[in-house]
Structure 1
Amino acid sequence: MVQDTHGGSSVGISGARAGSARESPFHIQTIKSPGHLTKFLPSLRTLLQLCVNQDPASSSIGFRAPLSDEAAGEFWLATASKLAETPRVLHCFVLTADPDAADVLATGSIVTIPKVTHRHRAEIVKLLVHPSARRKGVATAMMRHLESFAKNSLGKEVLTLDTATTTPARAFYNSIGWKEWGTCPEYADFADGARGDATFFIKILRG
């Protein structure tokens, strides 16, 4: 699932608010290789732990609380190994305050589907936002970047994602133009062990 973003302000891919001429406070870059990911590994590990452990009753991203340093690190090392696969099906991104920073404010990934009948679409996964960066347009900036990359760099026509039904993330995705297409009861456990429903979203990129 995609992590609860706790809302987000109305910003474009540049990170600037609508109607504002100021420069973007955000820098988004593609993680190009396993070695590149290691630069951000400590920060990504901490980010994942915060998203799981800070509010386990609202976290439904595939982990149980408390998430240890070792388990969080293993997840990102497994992610890094997928970046070396050919053909590449995982495209991972990090958002920082400036190009040289290693402190990750948000991350998000795109997973493509290699089946010939599904090559027109991709899925957004593991959108994680640092608690200190929420409600500042970070989630919106990352989502706009993911959408643009999927359409313009990968040639995708359709994106999908899912999120826990009872979290603020559901309202967030509706607010940035995604369309709900269904809810699955008892889809996955939250980090505290409680079972929860998931709501599924779609966005058409054609046009």
Structure 2
Amino acid sequence: MSASPPSIRLLSDPLPHELEQLASVLHDCVNGGASVSFMAPYSLDDAHKFWERIAMDVRAGQKALLVAEDELGICGTVQLHLDLPPNQPHRADLAKMLVHRRARRRGLGEALMRAAEAEAIARGKNLLVLDTVTGSTADRLYTRLGWVRVGEIPRYALMPDGEPCPTTYFYRDLRDEAQTAVAGRP
């Protein structure tokens, strides 16, 4: 019997057990080599503290938090940063797209990205921006999903092991998708 496909949902008030699962995902990703702002070794306690801060922002409406769940619990996540300056009410930053190593290569990254785009449209956002390690699996995913590459900055960040890495910035104009959603067309 095969496992059911992961489901995606919005968390508006993350519960303690959900924060523990999110911490596990972040801990796995950083210690697995993902450059997502943290250095290895990265503790579960530090990951939990990070998610407690994010939960406050989610409850305050400054961030939207989407999660992917499988039979074992939360296995992926992505955020929309909504609290931007007054001259940018039409956009959001997409951040911390993470998939636990146990759940990779099952289409979760794409499902999370599509859900984040739909959530952005539902919140009146029609422009998304993100950055990622140049040449990474995520870089290839964003390109495949139609995100537009803006440019690369060398030595922008460090990998968890301390090695410098280049970062590529992307954007996605959602105006066509938003008009389709308003018109009720698939």
The TM-score with structure 2 as length reference comes to: 0.87
Matched, 1:146 2:146: no
Distance 2:78 2:100 in 1: 12
Match of 1:79 among 45, 54, 59: 54
Unmatched 5+ stretches in structure 1: 1-23
Question: Is contact 1:40–1:102 with CA below 8 Å preserved after alignment?
Answer: no
SS for the counterpart of 2:154 is strand
Distance 1:173 1:142 in 2: 12
Distance 1:113 1:121 in 2: 10
Distance 2:143 2:63 in 1: 25
Distance 1:31 1:91 in 2: 8
Structure having the larger proportion of residues in helix: 2
Alignment-mate amino acid for residue 48 of structure 2: G
Structure having the larger proportion of residues in strand: 2
Matched residue, 1:21:
none
Match of 1:135 among 105, 111, 132: 105
Distance 1:110 1:103 in 2: 21
Q: Deviations over 1:116-143 (max 9, x none)?
A: 2111111110000011211111111111
How far 1:39 sits from its partner (Å)? 2.8
How far 1:173 sits from its partner (Å)? 0.7
Aligned length: 173
Distance 1:26 1:67 in 2: 26
Match of 2:44 among 61, 66, 69: 69
Matches within 5 A, 1:183-202: 183-202=152-171
Question: Is contact 1:178–1:202 with CA below 8 Å preserved after alignment?
Answer: yes
The TM-score with structure 1 as length reference comes to: 0.79
State the percentage of identical aligned residues: 34
Distance 2:72 2:49 in 1: 19
Matched residue, 1:110:
80
Superposition CA RMSD, Å: 1.5
Runs of 4+ in structure 1 displaced over 3 angstroms? none
Matched residue, 2:25:
47
Distance 2:88 2:170 in 1: 17
Matched residue, 1:157:
126
How far 1:25 sits from its partner (Å)? 2.1
